[in-house]
Amino acid sequence: MQTKPSVLVARAVFPEILHKLEQHFTVDSNQDDILFSAEELARRLQGKVGVFTTGSERISASLLAQCPELRICANMAVGYNNFDLPAMTSAGVVATNTPDVLTETTADFGFALLMATARRMAESEHFLRAGLWTRWSYDMFAGAEVHGSILGIIGMGRIGQGIARRGALGFGMKVLYCNRKPLDAATEAACQARHVSKTELLQTADHVMLVLPYSAEAHHTIGAAELALMKPTATLVNIARGGIVDDAALAAALRNRTIAAAGLDVFEGEPAVHPDLLTVPNVVLTPHIASATMPTRMAMAGLAADNLIGFLVHGKALTPLNAPAP
Ligand code: DGY
């Protein structure tokens, strides 16, 4: 009898997904969800041809050199800044991610965070829970208007476009965006969005939303200089990746009221959070949950599993990020 190929599932995952993988592979899983060190990951990958990863497993050139049998890494995330893609391509390892299945869910969350930030929902809830609410007053937790305001989106991929549609069609917002490449005219029209420079966007928008992928060039896209360009009444939302915002500079800007408020789902060095962000009141903080609904997480895990099965069993990954020479 032919032996099944061996794969590693590096983090805990839905039992249904493990079961699906077990139909095709000998599966080494990590249902205890203990985060592997780089050494432990390399050790567990010995003899494995595939790995199911999440954003917390770093696939580096050094790891690849230690795992010569590895042929595919399937990330359960649309972002893949945990992958050294050029090193994977030169090592002949296929990389896959999970586009599309999380677009609308993540756009929903981006919009929810925008509204919670603009309308001061976390700050006012903490006030109420602390027993500080004794009477109504005319300006208590008065925030910024969302409907009819100006939304600036940095990074206009699938999720950015979903947020633009929500803003323009649902809330009558004027939508500005900046992106490495402007959208084609039809997509721009569907999103009712106008391409502008980053400076114009920062100076004009009432709400700035970050949805760009992380790269070395995107590091600290928003730092002290950019925050200083924004309106003092403006809000900033980051659902992209930690490191795109200089979190120390943001905490200072929030404390000094350079901008009004921020909503953050991702952090530099997460799960650690810059201590200054924990002490400023005008920030809504969530633990990287923008794609976290059960149906969407199931779809993401299913697509990552299907990429392993597609490539290792049928010879073709569904959503490849690279095409290494065979
Ligand atoms: C993604 O898919 O990139 C999300 O951030 C979850 O990691």
Helix (H) or strand (E) holding 278: helix 275-279
Q: Is 211 in the pocket of ligand 1 (CB under 6 A)?
A: no
DSSP 7-56: EEE-S---HHHHHHHHTTSEEE--TT-PPPPHHHHHHHTTT-SEEEE-TT
Q: How do strand 50-53 and strand 150-154 relate by DSSP bridges?
A: unpaired
Residue 102 CB–ligand 1 contact under 6 Å? yes
Q: How far apart are CA 119 and CA 207, in angstroms?
A: 12
Instruction: Kindly provide the residue ranges of all beta strands, DSSP E only, lying in the chain, ordered along the sequence.
Output: 6-9, 26-28, 50-53, 72-75, 94-96, 150-154, 174-178, 193-195, 207-210, 235-238, 261-264, 283-285
Kindly report the protein residue whose alpha carbon is nearest to atom 3 of ligand 1: 79
Query: Is pLDDT above 70 for 171?
Result: yes
Q: Is there an atom of ligand 1 within 6 Å of 175 CB?
A: no
| Cis ω for the linkage preceding 213 (within 30 of 0) | no
286/214 Cα distance (integer angstroms):
19
Atom 4 in ligand 1: residue holding the nearest Cα: 77
d(CA 246, CA 244): 7
Residue 30: pLDDT band by 50, 70, 90 thresholds?
very high
Please say if the pLDDT value at position 218 is more than 80. yes
**What would the pLDDT profile of 90-116 be if each residue is shown by its tens digit?**
999 999 999 999 999 999 999 999 999
Tokens of 282: 């005008």
Domains of the chain: 6-100+294-314 (3.40.50.720), 103-285 (3.40.50.720)
Q: CA–CA separation, 212 vs 152, rounded Å?
A: 12
- Could you tell me if the CB of 110 is within 6 A of ligand 1? no
Average pLDDT of the chain to the nearest whole number: 97
For ligand 1, whether the C-beta of 78 sits within 6 Å is: yes
Distance 97 CA to ligand 1 centre (A): 9
Both structure tokens of 81: 């800044």
Best probe residue, ligand 1, of 83, 101, 102, 113 (max atoms within 8 Å of C-beta) = 102
Above 80 in pLDDT, residue 2?
Answer: no
Can you list the positions of beta strands (E) in 60-132?
72-75, 94-96
pLDDT band of residue 1 (cuts 50, 70, 90) is low
Would you say the CB of residue 209 lies under 6 angstroms from ligand 1? no
CB 55 within 8 A of CB 77: yes
pTM of the model: 0.96
Give the residue among 257, 261, 238, 236 at the shortest CA–CA distance from 143: 261
The residue whose CA is least distant from atom 2 of ligand 1 is: 77
Residue 234 has pLDDT above 80, yes or no: yes
* Separation of CA 104 from chain center: 13
Task: Measure 73 CA to ligand 1 centroid, in angstroms.
Answer: 15
pLDDT digit string, tens, across residues 265-307: 999 999 999 999 999 999 999 999 999 999 999 999 999 999 9
Tokens representing residue 24 in the block: 């095709």
| Residues 115-161: tens digit of each pLDDT | 999 999 999 999 999 999 999 999 999 999 999 999 999 999 999 99
Instruction: Give 94 Cα–ligand 1 centroid separation in angstroms.
Output: 19
The helix/strand/coil state of 245 is strand
Measured from the CB, is residue 77 less than 6 Å from ligand 1?
yes
Q: Provide the pLDDT for residue 322.
A: 98
Ligand 1, atom 1: nearest CA belongs to which residue? 77
Active site residues: 241, 270, 288
Say how many Å lie between the CA of residue 77 and the centre of ligand 1: 4
Query: How many Cα neighbours within 13 Å face the side chain of 65?
Result: 4
Determine the distance separating the centroid of ligand 1 and the alpha carbon of 265, expressed in angstroms: 11
Residue 55 Cα to ligand 1 midpoint, Å, equals 7
Is residue 224 within 8 Å of residue 248, measured between CB atoms?
Answer: no
Mean pLDDT of 20-25: 98
In ligand 1, the atom with minimum distance to the C-alpha of 97 is: 2
